[in-house]
Structure 1
Amino acid sequence: MALLSVLDLAPVTEGNTVSQSLANSLDLARHVEKLGYNRYWLAEHHNMPGIASAATSVVIAHIAGGTSTIRVGAGGVMLPNHSPLVIAEQFGTLAALHPGRIDLGLGRAPGTDMATARALRRNLDAGADNFPQDVVELINYFAPEAPNRHVHAYPGEGQEVPVWILGSSTYGAQLAAMLGLPYAFASHFAPAELDRALDIYRARFEPSQFLDKPYVMLGVNITAADTDAEARLLFSSMQQAFVAIRTNTRGKLKPPVEGYYESLEPMSRAILDQTLSQAIVGAPETVSRGVEAFLQRTGADELMVTAQIFDHAARKRSYEILADVHLGLSKAA
């Protein structure tokens, strides 16, 4: 049975604050920990008023400090925005504070628009093209002390923080396979290359000190409710968010709208049909069938589930329903 994990975009909803968003994230993390979820990851995004996890390592510390058993990590850190040494120190510190519970997923996209990327990096020439070398440099900072090493990550050295490669194309699949690292594919927003990326990763995987065989985690949008109609209504908040991103009208997460999809013009519908083609939305039976079909088609070892739901209680309930139908471990009060 595939493991279940959570990708939290720390949504800031209309009429609410970042403080409340981060409090909700901790509450959700505690909730899914009781339900038997494996990981709780947060993503680096910038210049987005509806996402509160820009300072990803800080939010990870907040979540890990308020939980006790669930793994907590980045899904991911956009490495071209940072020095590998700085990330090694940050995640080495997190691993020292929470031994055996910290993951580091690495992506090569900016996680924002190009103007903001320039503000983050200052020098865009030292960006995505250096990603493979930066990944190797970062991994080496986590290795045990070596006599010929002149620059050390303190903390970080010897922590051996698990590193994942994230991707939404075949590029990340090739790199993860070459380095023998676990691979997480962003099928929750970029499903077009999913099948090709999985084929490449599995066919080209080279066993390493980290893994002896391929390990795949797939992002998937799952919105569950007691009825199909209620789930479709809740899902409209995520649909609005994706349309806003593609039309450059970003804002806070909006409340659900009855009949939202049907009200859209053809271009916006096409955007949603493409980006959210793998979404699973519905009542428990619908979700169970959808998850089973997705796993049979992809052979994923783990699902990284995201749910951009406006109402916090409904978001918690969605993850609870999924745990019930897939894990049979719903234990939350």
Structure 2
Amino acid sequence: MTSLSILDLVRVTEATDARGALNNARDLAAHAETWGYRRFWVAEHHNMPGIASAATAVVIGHILEGTRKIRVGAGGVMLPNHAPLIIAEQFGTLARLFPDRVDLGLGRAPGTDPTTVRALRRPFSAVDSFPSDILELQGYFAPAAANALQAVPAAGTNVPLWILGSSTYGARLAADYGLPYAFASHFAPAELGLALDLYRRGFKPSAQLARPHVAVGVNIIAADSEAEARRLATTTQMAFTNLLRGTRQLGQPPIDDIDQYWSPAEKAQVGLMLACSIIGAPATLREGIKALIAETAADELIIVSDIYDHEARLRSFELIAEVAGPSAHGAGG
């Protein structure tokens, strides 16, 4: 059965400051584990006032502290921004504090703009060492070897690694390293089918994973009525429009007529970026989720439900679980 997981943006809105966003993320995770979601991820973004998860490991610790059993992790850490030793120390510490609950998804993109990359003190060429950095990171999580350098207290924690991607590059690398693969089709779905095919055909079993494991990112906005779901979805549509415009804003409340906000060209471009979206009431969700799983054979759906109001967002994830979660299938995820 395809399991359900969450990627939360830790969205700072016009009504909620960063502290509120962090507490809302923790509250959502606490609800999510009661609804049967498998894991809860947050992602590294820098210089974005509307997203409060830049210090990703710290945010993960905050969420772990407020939950009991759901897996919590990075979806992901942008490894070129960091020395692998530092990431191993951070996530090894989390794994010691919360055993067998921590995931570490790794991305190759910097996740920010060139000015911020320079401020992070990492060269642009760091992306070229992504494959070797992953191997270095794996080494730090393995049992301690007789050498001078250890990532304390990471040695022996074997924190599971994931490769994240929106192109065939990450698919090939995940296959070659025998790691689980999460495709970011919630914002870049164009190469979804090709990437999954390359990953599955090229997969080499590893100590971490015996067979391919695919997670597919998908935007799902759920509400009790079709009209309300479409209205709630305008928050996401405005956020993507703002990205195209090069503006970085706080999350905006939904509006009644999105066509008054974007131009025809912006509508077309955002439509391509959000093509992997399911918006509607339970009957629409059921058909949309069924079709996506049939198309991708995903082992897991990583769901983004970027809704302005926290209570409406909780309701969205509750409806999704009712339609497609473990209780809907009569078994655990």
TM over 0.5: yes
How far 1:271 moved relative to its partner?
A: 1.5
State the AA in 1 paired with 2:325: L
For 1:26, the equivalent position in structure 2 comes to 26
Give the superposition deviation at 1:274.
Answer: 0.5
Instruction: Give me the whole-angstrom Cα distance separating, in 2, the residues matched to 1:134 and 1:128.
Output: 9
Which range moved further: 95-104 or 262-271? 262-271
Opposite residue 64 of structure 1, the aligned amino acid is L
Q: Structure 1 residue 245: deviation in Å?
A: 1.0
Alignment equivalent of 2:309, drawn from 292, 308, 311: 311
- How many Å apart are 1:122 and its aligned residue? 4.1
Aligned amino acid, residue 143 of structure 1: A
Instruction: Find the counterpart in structure 1 of residue 217 from structure 2.
Output: 219
Amino acid at match of 2:229: A
CA distance in 2, matches of 1:266, 1:326: 34
Question: What is the rounded CA distance, in whole Å, between the counterparts of 2:273 and 2:260 in structure 1?
Answer: 17
For residue 133 of structure 1, what is the aligned residue in structure 2?
Answer: 132
* Residue equivalent to 1:237: 235
Aligned residues of 1:284 and 1:325 also touching (Cα < 8 A): yes
Q: How far apart, in 1, do the equivalents of 2:16 and 2:177 lie?
A: 42
Mind listing any 5+ residue stretches in structure 2 that lack a counterpart? 329-333
Q: 1:1-333 residue pairs with structure 2 within 5 A?
A: 1-125=1-125, 127-147=126-146, 149-261=147-259, 263-327=261-325, 329=327
Q: Distance in 2 between matches of 1:13 and 1:85?
A: 34
Query: What whole-Å deviation, never above 9, does each CA across 1:97-134 have from its counterpart, x for those lacking one?
Result: 00000000000111111111111134323x11110000
What amino acid is the match of 2:145?
A
Paired AA for residue 16 in structure 2: N
State the identity as a percent.
56
- The separation in 1 between residues aligned to 2:213 and 2:55, in whole angstroms, is 28
Deviation string, structure 1 residues 253-299 (Cα, Å, up to 9, x no partner): 00001120465312111111110001000000101100000000000
Q: What is the distance in 2 between the residues matched to 1:20 and 1:264?
A: 29
Specify the SS of the correspondent of 1:121.
coil
Q: Cα 1:299–1:261, aligned 2, differ >3 Å: closer, same or farther?
A: farther
Q: Segments of 4+ in structure 1 off by > 2 A?
A: 121-125, 261-264
Partners of 2:257 and 2:277 in 1: CA distance: 17
TM-score, normalising length: structure 2: 0.97
8 Å CA contact retained: 1:73, 1:102? yes
C-alpha separation between the residues in 2 aligned to 1:327 and 1:174? 30
Contact 2:105 2:164 in 1 (8 A): yes
Runs of 5+ in structure 1 lacking a partner?
A: none
**Aligned-partner SS, 1:308:** coil
Give the total of aligned pairs. Answer: 328
Q: Return the letter of the residue paired with 1:291.
A: I
* In 2, Cα distance between equivalents of 1:257 and 1:157: 50
Separation in 2, partners of 1:23, 1:199:
38
State the alpha-carbon separation in 1 of the partners of residues 263 and 89 from structure 2: 48
Q: Which moved more, 1:116-125 or 1:19-28?
A: 116-125
Would you say the 8 A contact 1:236–1:261 is kept in 2?
no
For the residues of structure 1 that align with 2:198 and 2:97, how far apart are their CA atoms? 36
Aligned partners of 2:16, 2:87: CA distance in 1, in Å? 30
Secondary structure of 1:91's aligned partner: helix
Q: 1 CA distance for matches of 2:56 and 2:318?
A: 25
Between the aligned partners of 1:150 and 1:171, the Cα distance in structure 2 is 33
SS across alignment from 1:257? coil
* 1:228–1:282 CA contact under 8 A, matched in 2: yes
The question of whether the paired residues in 2 share the 8 Å contact of 1:7 and 1:42 is answered with yes
Task: Return the alpha-carbon distance in structure 2 between the equivalents of residues 209 and 122 of structure 1.
Answer: 31
Structure 1 position 246, deviation (Å) = 1.5
What is the identity, as a one-letter code, of the residue corresponding to 2:274?
L
